[in-house]
Amino acid sequence: MRIKRILWVLAAFAFSSFIYAQRTSVPAQSQPQRPESQMEENETSGQPNQGQTAKRAQHPSKGPVPLTEKEVTKEIKNSPAETVIKDVQQRGVDFDMTPDIEKKLRKVKATDEVVEAVRRAGPKVREQTAKMTMGASPAAGPVGVPKEQGQAFDVIKSELDPDKTITLVTDFATKYPQSPLLSYVYSYGANAYQQKGDVEKVVELTQEGLKLKSDNLMCLILSLGMLPQPQYLNNHAAEREKILQEAESEANRALQLIAQLPKQPNEADADHQKRLGQISSPVHASLGMVHLDLATEALAGPDKDELAKSEQEFNTAVAIDRPDPRDYYRMGEAYALDGKVDDAIGAFTKASQYGQGTMIKAYADQRVEELKKKKAQSPAAPKS
């Protein structure tokens, strides 16, 4: 988050928390209305909580100790969802999500956002994300790395605080500028800046990482989460068209790399395809944003062909177990611009449902009401 996450985002995103840019300005009237700036300032800034988090026990050498299931449950009962999410993101958890654990968390009123944050903070998901940074296959990782570089990289991978991660990444790049691990180190630095909402630094570090290793998927996905966003495009207005072309090209390249990811040991074909779908979801969302941006550039009104492409990409992005509510929101924007009011209402309604406990719900509900009012005020179609 998206993820964000990371990937988002990566889960993709966790690419998450797979994996998305902040929005800082209200778009022009002819452009889709996007709420993410305020929402993500509130939810994905990555700033450590000054209350409960500061009081948590820390390992003297390894940083924050992961939360136990009992601690997470207690915090859900006693703290706002935003506090729980920040604490989980900063410390991680020492267990992996299972249906039984999810049921327990929901029993104490955990929101969808909290459940997803806990899932992404589990050891297995963190390990999978780390593996993904190492390229398209297990053989893609460097061999013969000096011991001190490997140890420094392990510290970076295990650090959960974004500010500390950035410091560690800067120190590593200064000390080991020729290290074969540097591309992967930049991935973690970019992810930390994504948590802090610094779009420019995310793009800067991911581009540095891709120069060193062009198939670094985490760098690719994080970069794609930023390039087509209004905040980044508005800061680079003179290069807007070039940036969108680059984003589309890089997204297609990322999809090719994802398709080449091998099966894990004992992984069934269906599970493999499901995993690839999760990883590719934020890439399809980025393509959806590219086409949504291109659709608004037409002087004679929204470009229908571009809107159709955007709608298709967002539909692909949400075709996973835990879709990002912002992808449904953007889908709603595309449908609304395309004059498909009922489809837009349906997409915004889904954004509200999946966005329980987040600011996206309020924005989505507002858009649903606006569209319903607009529909009610429109003259009825003549009967044949």
Could you tell me if 172 and 159 are in contact, meaning their C-beta atoms sit under 8 angstroms apart? no
Amino acid 49 reads N
What's the token pair of residue 61?
């050498």
pTM of model > 0.75 = no
Could you tell me if 337 and 295 are in contact, meaning their C-beta atoms sit under 8 angstroms apart? yes
pLDDT tens, per residue, the chain with 384 residues: 444 333 333 433 333 333 232 222 222 223 334 444 333 333 333 333 333 333 444 444 445 788 999 999 999 999 998 888 888 877 889 898 888 898 899 988 888 888 888 887 888 776 665 555 444 433 344 556 889 999 999 999 888 888 999 999 999 999 999 999 999 999 999 999 998 889 999 999 999 999 999 999 999 999 999 999 999 999 999 999 999 999 999 999 999 999 999 988 888 999 999 999 999 999 999 999 999 999 998 777 899 999 999 999 999 999 998 899 999 999 999 999 999 999 999 999 999 999 887 889 999 999 999 999 988 887 765 554
Instruction: Give rounded-to-5 percent helix, strand, coil for the chain.
Output: 65, 0, 35
CA angle 345, 315, 101 (to 5 degrees): 90
pLDDT score, position 143? 55
Q: What gap in Å lies between CA 198 and CA 218, rounded to an integer? A: 17
Please state the length of the chain.
Answer: 384
| Long-range Cβ pairs for the range 20-23 (8 Å, 24+) | 20/44, 20/225, 20/229, 20/282, 20/285, 20/324, 20/326, 21/199, 21/202, 21/225, 21/226, 21/229, 21/230, 21/231, 21/232, 22/197, 22/199, 22/229, 22/231, 23/229, 23/230, 23/231
Could you tell me if 291 and 310 are in contact, meaning their C-beta atoms sit under 8 angstroms apart? yes
Q: Which fold has domain 36-377?
A: 1.25.40
pLDDT score, position 159? 87
pLDDT score, position 120? 78
Scan for tokens 């990002």, then name that residue: 324
Scan for tokens 């999810």, then name that residue: 102
| Cβ within 8 Å of residue 213, ≥6 positions away | 135, 183, 184, 219
Q: What gap in Å lies between CA 315 and CA 61, rounded to an integer? A: 45
What's the token pair of residue 159?
């650090």
pLDDT score, position 131? 52
Please, what's the b/e burial string for 45-80 (b: 16 or more CB within 10 A of its CB; e: otherwise)?
A: ebebbeeebeeeeeeeeebbebbeeebbbebbeebe
pLDDT score, position 2? 45
pLDDT score, position 142? 54
pLDDT score, position 380? 63
Q: What gap in Å lies between CA 52 and CA 54, rounded to an integer? A: 5
Q: Which of 108, 62, 102 is nearest to 81 (CA)?
A: 108
Q: Which of 143, 122, 135 is nearest to 67 (CA)?
A: 122
In angstroms, the first-to-last Cα distance of the chain is 49
Q: Structural domain boundaries of the chain?
A: 36-377
Examine residue 91 and say whether the peptide bond preceding it is cis (omega within 30 degrees of 0): no
When computed from its CA atoms, the radius of gyration of the chain, rounded to whole angstroms, is: 21
Q: What gap in Å lies between CA 134 and CA 142, rounded to an integer? A: 8
Q: What is the 3-state secondary structure (H, E, C) of 336-365?
A: HHCCCHHHHHHHHHHHHHHCCCCHHHHHHH
Q: What gap in Å lies between CA 172 and CA 244, rounded to an integer? A: 32
